[in-house]
């Protein structure tokens, strides 16, 4: 039974999910998916022809005449076979004993995998326009479906690229974890944003973006409506954020037209990181507003790209602070100068 437990001191939650330990390790990869990689691997669970090896798909972009869980798809979303959460139980605090020292709950939620392409090993940084649009659209489409679940308080969409960043399968994929609480990092952002709003009546993200556009010191790339920049307070080398220039708390409200434009900036960031830093391991994720809260006036969705070039070690674990060995302005200069192909 997947379980959530709460640190009684900091109130942070942990998911205890032994099911995850059973993930296949046979396909562990070395972090270097190549542009010239193979298009099809008969042993890959995510490749065309092996649809039966995954749980039944919950969504797919596929040729009109094609059938569910059969070939003919270009993007496919399936439940995670090794899910850290499930909807068999419901999340209720169990703090019956010990004066709140042992608070737990059923880890109710959903875990899905977005198989981003039928190509076994194409690097996402080399996706064409149609493919990049499809990935960003699938994020929105799953948000809209999953947010209908009453039990879901937050939907996390993230991507691990390369073994050192936690990827266990080479076939390009993103992941979704829909969970029954609002996670601490998002809570903290919302808290800080609210404080700023209460003082200024401005969205702090809008203020930051306006300042970046004025200073022009940390911009990586931009379109009319979207900006990629290195945060002034970057935790890691080449950390890059992508956000809409217009105020919007929710990724899931993006129109197809905006998704197409976002895809240009998103692809540019991925390509610059890929080409400029030699296809490093990285993670990215979307921060959007919680499903059932309304911080819409002062929260602002964004994506955070975190290349993994250095390692968080004892100091970071002990303090929650990061030591960044690069200057964010230098990182932005470097990435800005990489041409996108």
Task: Please state the closest distance from residue 213 (CB atom) to its own copies, in A.
Answer: 12
**Binding range to its own copies, per CB under 8 A, among 117-125, 140-148, 222-230, 285-293:** 285-293
84 and 107 in contact (C-beta within 8 Å)?
yes
Q: Is 340 exposed, middle or buried (0-12, 13-18, 19+ CB in 10 A)?
A: middle
Does 14 engage in binding with its own copies (CB under 8 A)? yes
Rank residues 72 and 166 by Cβ distance to its own copies and give the closer one: 166
- Integer-rounded Cα Rg, in Å, for the chain is 20
Of 155-194, binders to its own copies (CB under 8 A) are 156, 158-160, 164-167, 175, 177, 179, 183-186, 188-189, 191-193
- Taking the complex as a whole, the smallest distance from the CB of residue 245 to its own copies amounts, in Å, to 16
Q: By CB under 8 A, what part of segment 96-125 binds its own copies?
A: 98-99, 101-102
322 binds its own copies, rule: CB under 8 A: yes
Residue 205 in the binding site for its own copies (CB under 8 A) = yes
Residue with tokens 């194409």: 122
Query: According to CB under 8 A, which one of 226, 229, 285, 301 is a site residue for its own copies?
Result: 285
Site for its own copies in 36-65 (CB under 8 A): none
What is the smallest separation between the CB atom of 282 and its own copies, expressed in angstroms?
9
DSSP symbol at 8: T
Distance CA 340, CA 270 (A): 9
Q: In angstroms, give the least distance from the CB of 253 to its own copies.
A: 20
* Helix extents (H) in 67-183: 129-146
Long-range contacts of residues 191-195, Cβ cutoff 8 Å, at least 24 apart: 193/295, 193/298, 193/299, 193/300, 194/295, 194/298
Nearer to its own copies, 268 or 286 (CB): 286
CA distance to 166, 300, 335, 337, 339, per residue, from 216 (Å):
33, 21, 14, 14, 18
Minimum CB separation from its own copies for residue 135, in Å?
15
Q: Return the residue of 284, 295, 307, 336 that touches its own copies, per CB under 8 A.
A: 284
Residues 80-99 that bind its own copies (CB under 8 A): 84, 98-99
Task: Determine if 17 is a binding residue for its own copies (CB under 8 A).
Answer: yes
Most distant CA atoms of the chain, gap in Å: 60
- Binding of its own copies by 279 (CB under 8 A): no
C-beta of 37 vs 231, nearer to its own copies:
231
**Which CB sits closer to its own copies, 73 or 282?**
282
CA–CA separation, 166 and 136 (whole Å): 21
Nearer to its own copies, 169 or 261 (CB): 169
Helix (H, G, I), strand (E, B) or coil at 24: coil
Find the binder of its own copies among 200, 213, 292, 297 (CB under 8 A). 200
Q: How many angstroms separate the CA atoms of 171 and 120, rounded?
A: 5
In the region spanning residues 286 to 315, those forming contacts with its own copies, defined by CB under 8 A, are 286-287, 304, 306, 311-315
Give 72's DSSP letter: -
Residue 101 vs 144, nearer CB to its own copies: 101
Binding residues for its own copies, rule CB under 8 A, total: 78
Q: Which of residues 225-264 bind its own copies (CB under 8 A)?
A: 231-235
240-271 as b/e, with b when 16 or more CB fall inside 10 Å? Answer: bbbbbbebbbbbbebeeebbbbbbbbbbbbbb
């Amino acid at each position: 039974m997947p379980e959530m437990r709460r640190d009684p001191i900091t109130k942070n939650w942990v998911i205890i999910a032994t099911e995850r330990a059973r993930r296949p390790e046979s396909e562990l990869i070395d972090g270097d998916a190549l542009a010239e990689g193979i298009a099809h691997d008969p042993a890959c669970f995510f490749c065309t022809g092996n649809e039966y090896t995954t749980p039944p798909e919950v969504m797919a972009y596929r040729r009109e005449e094609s059938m569910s869980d059969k070939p003919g798809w270009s993007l496919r979303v399936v439940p995670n076979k090794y899910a850290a959460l499930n909807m068999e139980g419901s999340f209720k605090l169990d703090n019956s004993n010990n004066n709140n020292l042992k608070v737990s709950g059923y880890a109710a939620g959903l875990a899905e995998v977005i198989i981003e392409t039928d190509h076994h090993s194409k690097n996402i940084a080399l996706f064409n326009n149609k493919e990049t649009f499809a990935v960003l659209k699938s994020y929105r489409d799953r948000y809209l479906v999953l947010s209908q679940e009453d039990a879901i308080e937050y939907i996390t969409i993230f991507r691990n690229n390369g073994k050192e960043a936690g990827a266990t399968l080479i076939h390009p994929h993103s992941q979704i974890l829909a969970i029954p609480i609002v996670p601490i990092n998002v809570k903290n952002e919302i808290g800080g944003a609210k404080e700023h709003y209460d003082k200024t009546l401005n969205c702090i993200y809008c203020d930051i973006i306006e300042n970046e556009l004025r200073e022009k010191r940390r911009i990586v790339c931009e379109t009319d409506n979207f900006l990629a920049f290195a945060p002034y307070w970057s935790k890691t080398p080449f950390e890059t954020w992508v956000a809409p220039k217009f105020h919007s708390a929710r990724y899931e409200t993006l129109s197809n037209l905006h998704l197409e434009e976002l895809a240009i900036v998103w692809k540019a960031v991925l390509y610059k990181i890929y080409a400029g830093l030699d296809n490093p391991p990285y993670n990215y994720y979307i921060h959007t507003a919680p499903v059932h809260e309304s911080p819409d006036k002062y929260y602002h969705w964004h994506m955070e790209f975190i290349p993994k070039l250095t390692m968080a070690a004892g100091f970071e674990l002990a303090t929650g602070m990061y030591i960044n060995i690069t200057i964010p302005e230098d990182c932005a200069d470097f990435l800005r100068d990489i041409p996108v192909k």
